[in-house]
Amino acid sequence: MNFPRASGILLHPSSLPGPFGIGDLGPEAYAFADFLEAAGQSIWQMLPLGPTGYGDSPYACYSAFAGNTLFISPEELVTIGLLARDELANAPEFSSDRVDFAAVHAYKDSLLRSAFIKFKREANQELSAEFRQFCDQHSSWLEDYALFRALKDEHGGIAWTGWSPELVTRQPAALKAARERLKEEIEAQKFYQFLFFRQWFALKSYCNDRGIQLVGDIPIFVAHDSADVWTNPDQFKLDEAGNPLVVAGVPPDYFSTTGQLWGNPLYNWDPMRAEGFRWWINPVRATLEIFDIARIDHFRGFAACWEIPSGDKTAERGRWVEAPGRELFTAIKNALGHVPIIAEDLGVITPDVESLRDDFGFPGMRIVQFAFSSDTNNIDLPHNYHKNVVVYTGTHDNDTAVGWFSSVAGEGSTRDAEQIEREKQFCLKYFNTAGTEIHWDFIRAALASVANTAIVPLQDVLGLGTEARMNLPNSTQGNWAWRVRAGTLTNEITSRLKDLTELYGRAGRE
């Protein structure tokens, strides 16, 4: 599928500014959409929107279908009468630069509980009817998800494998008793999802009306501690107690000398195949209801997965195991038609991965930051692109452009000082620049390229350093927390980005 020539910005909603400790779907999200329109951008790319669990990673969510309730805007709840304005007056003094997920959860969960209580006590008929319709429309996943979250809270947050055996194995009598016992909390969890999607689709409509398409990720793997695995254990390689036999990751690579140990359970493809890949078709359908375009994370895993023995501390002892990607995407195409998908084809890319991507017409990715590690034949160098790719200056897993340019050798790095300097000099020569505004050199190269789609992380537009990095692969501390400060997107930045976008024929509609 060839996308029209366009450009956009990568920014997860959590990184938006605002007074409540984390970006949300309120006024600042609409202001960011206005910035995109003013800067000539027509794409807003995000990470997965699901409810995050341990480690706060959007790639390890409690559900492949649910939304992250931390993104619910308290101000919008005031607007529809579920919170009083003075309930927001005593918000803690949150950092404007970093998300403190524990503190934000405590604060926002309390607000959501208050909103639910008021809804139960005073809800008008129109909102109640909307809620009932939402529950009916999404019952295929919402019932199990709400029960999962209610049980998880009842058990103090421990993983589902630590629950009583009759709940772990989903015995009908135990599930019925839990639904009766936790009826109020189950309804609350459904209501929180209703609020999330109500706000989400309002924002999506606002963006689409301004010519902005939303791009979102489909993680190739799901978290073990999730409603998805608890309700579909036969679809995953688990032991009799529900624990993973093998887990996901990648071998040693650019990001880590010991590989990346993600820890997600791996798919049991035979039962999936027997059910016509139902498990995969449903999340893809759901993703394309909330996003205009889906980026499938770790696409190479559909040709072969790196299987790591459960219990290993690094990814080094893994092995490649074939996956039925061709059968899967044929089933998705038969069920959903031609779908707008971007393939995240980074890592160890072999001919079978390229064939799978190209035969289904999915554009792959190019990363400017990876362009200088070899010679002029490097596929990430802009002169080697073709039209049906998506070019990024960097991704959420990369350092920022400024951080990369300023990097030094250190523990865990795959590059020594000599290689870093060699890449830096190649970069300066290639861009014919002194490097004083290296982030704009990166942006210009991406926008000027023949690639149909160019995406720039907001950190690179702002010229921020390593302190603004979103994620350091194979690490567990300090990730996903970066936030942009209010007022940072100046008229000068907006104008400069728009000028380059127009110059290289990528501008959105006027």
| Res. 359: pLDDT tops 80 | yes
Is the distance from CB of 32 to CB of 16 less than 8 angstroms? Answer: yes
- Residue 123: predicted pLDDT: 72
User: pLDDT tens for residues 420-442?
Assistant: 999 999 999 999 999 999 999 99
**pTM, entire model:** 0.96
Query: What average pLDDT does the chain have?
Result: 95
- Residue 396: predicted pLDDT: 97
Average pLDDT estimate for 487-493: 97
- Residue 347: predicted pLDDT: 83
Strands (E), 3-69: 6-10, 43-45
Q: How confident is the model at residue 413 (pLDDT cuts 50, 70, 90)?
A: low
Pairing of the two strands 293-296 and 341-343? parallel
Structure tokens at 35: 């910035």
1 compared with 473, residue with greater pLDDT? 473
- Residue 508: predicted pLDDT: 65
The percentage of the chain sitting over the pLDDT mark of 90, rounded to a whole number, equals 92
How far apart CA 179 and CA 143 sit, in angstroms, is 10
* Residues marked as catalytic: 297, 344, 397
Question: Residue 338 burial (CB < 10 Å; 0-12/13-18/19+)?
Answer: exposed
What are the CA-CA distances from residue 294 to residues 47, 83, 288 (Å)?
A: 10, 34, 7
| Res. 1: pLDDT tops 70 | yes
User: pLDDT tens for residues 192-241?
Assistant: 999 999 999 999 999 999 999 999 999 999 999 999 999 999 999 999 99
| Res. 411: pLDDT tops 60 | no
Structure tokens at 281: 């078709």
Strand order of the sheet with strand 6-10?
Answer: 341-343, 293-296, 213-218, 43-45, 6-10, 453-457, 389-392, 364-367
Nearest to 223 by CA among 68, 474, 50: 50
Q: What residues contact residue 55 under an 8 Å CB cut-off, 6+ apart?
A: 476, 479
Cα angle 150, 152, 155; round to 5: 110
User: pLDDT tens for residues 73-125?
Assistant: 999 999 999 999 999 998 999 999 999 999 999 999 999 999 999 999 997 88
Structure tokens at 510: 């006027």
How far apart CA 98 and CA 237 sit, in angstroms, is 36
- Written as one string, the DSSP assignment of 420-480 is HHHHHHHHHHHHTS-STTHHHHHHHHHHHSS-SEEEEEHHHHHT--GGG----TT--SSTT
